[in-house]
A and B are shown apart, each in its own frame.
Chain A
Amino acid sequence: MIAFFSDYTVQIVLMGSIILGITAGSLGTFAVLRRQSLLGDAISHATLPGVCLAFMLVQTKNPLPLLIGAALAGWVGTLLIMLITDTTRIKRDSALGIVLSVFFGFGLVLLTIVQKMPTATKAGLDKFLFGNAATLLHSDVMMMLNFSVIIFAFVVMFWKEFKLIVFDADFARSLGINVRAFDILLTTLIVASIVIGLQTVGVVLMSAMLVAPAAAARQWTDRLGHMVLISALFGSISGVLGSVTSSVFLKLPTGPMIVIFLSIFVLISLAFAPNRGLVWDWLRFRKNRKLIQETSMLKNLMLFSEIHTDPFHPHDIAALTAIGRGAIDQTMNEIRQKGWARQFPDKKWALTPKGLEEAKRLTEEFEEQFDVDTSV
């Protein structure tokens, strides 16, 4: 195990995926909260022609010019989306779809051309499609680190401005905050965090690195700061697991492996997160339904006991169900187990003294809570 982590390649892969996970996870929080998840997808696909054109121009496998090309193409794609939605009658989702497919298609054409060039084989540009963490070099990781330090500097400096323009842009404008400028800055930071992940995760699945950790993190907290931290944590853990399994053990593309680990986080968060988790929702619903059924049957029993001179006289189950909802054997059994009612032969039931007390208490509670008088 120690030998494994002291391996130089493994260290590079680990560092790269941690930096990537933290950066994409944090910026993804803003993308998700601004409902710009699909914008991330369009931008990352739009970077492909930029990578190929940059390679054609400089003919080196030095990643810096390639990533600058990617960033420029991503930027042009974003501007086009804004332009289309602002000046035409085409809706935003269609604009995203158009830019994504046109840029990506163009990128694939360029990629095919590049791969037929004699110099291209060494560059291995196809890793930009699905990502390959194993090809990361020390210099790549250093560049990622520099990018992400700059990105985080901006996020820390303009934290409250970003928070406010995402939550309430009109109010931000009324305070004199230049919403347009911060909007462009935030989008630029999202583009930058996409670009640093292209080599590792690839253009096709990079947006998952932005969206999935943030969507999962939203389930666990109601504070923006915590959401960013949790999202960064989920992103980096998935990044590490995906990169290591893909590059060291399986020799598979990295992007798909990372997405598999991300989806585990998303599924667990959707199901089990306290308050917002579906499982707790369902259990709460079940518990409430059971309680309502039990109390309504108990009240039915009380109604009958009030008619009869003996409050503990047994009544037929058919009569009980006729005046109320949800009378099922299970409910009656629950009531019996709580000691509120007794069962008699021929499907007859009677209140116990304890049950009568409980029914009275519930009625009083109900009247207090809703300020109504249920007495006839």
Chain B
Amino acid sequence: MRKLLTILGLGCALPVLADNLPLPSGTPASYKSECGSCHLPYPPALLAADHWRRTMSQLGDHFGSDATLDARQLQEIRTFLENAAGRPERLGSAGDPPRISQTQRFIRKHREVPARFWSDPRVKSAANCEACHRGAATGNFGEHDIAIRELRS
């Protein structure tokens, strides 16, 4: 009975939490320090396990940067990402190399954002979540909390 209630409770909460993607409680510190210095430590659910596997196997040329890790951290972060990855059927293809911004989910969520906003110097890149999503660092990607006024829906 308790289990059933939990499931029902989660079901109700999910629609509200859809744009709330905090890092899971077991996120290793190395993920934040290693993957969070050049860009936001992205919520692992934004790519599928296979996307993360491919990303982590080519860190020597990570979008033009050397993001190599020592063996221990590589193993720790790869395991974490694969375990906390998103559902492949929801994300679709992410391209090669996999990009969060090429998943169906990202494209659908951002389809109302005009091209000129992406090239705004304050935004610079689709990798720069925090330029618009003020609460991105704590997992809040809600569309009503957009930092740049003219980008707000």
Is chain B a partner of chain A in the same complex? no
Interface residues of chain B, those whose CB is within 8 Å of chain A, are none
Interface residues of chain A, those whose CB is within 8 Å of chain B, are none
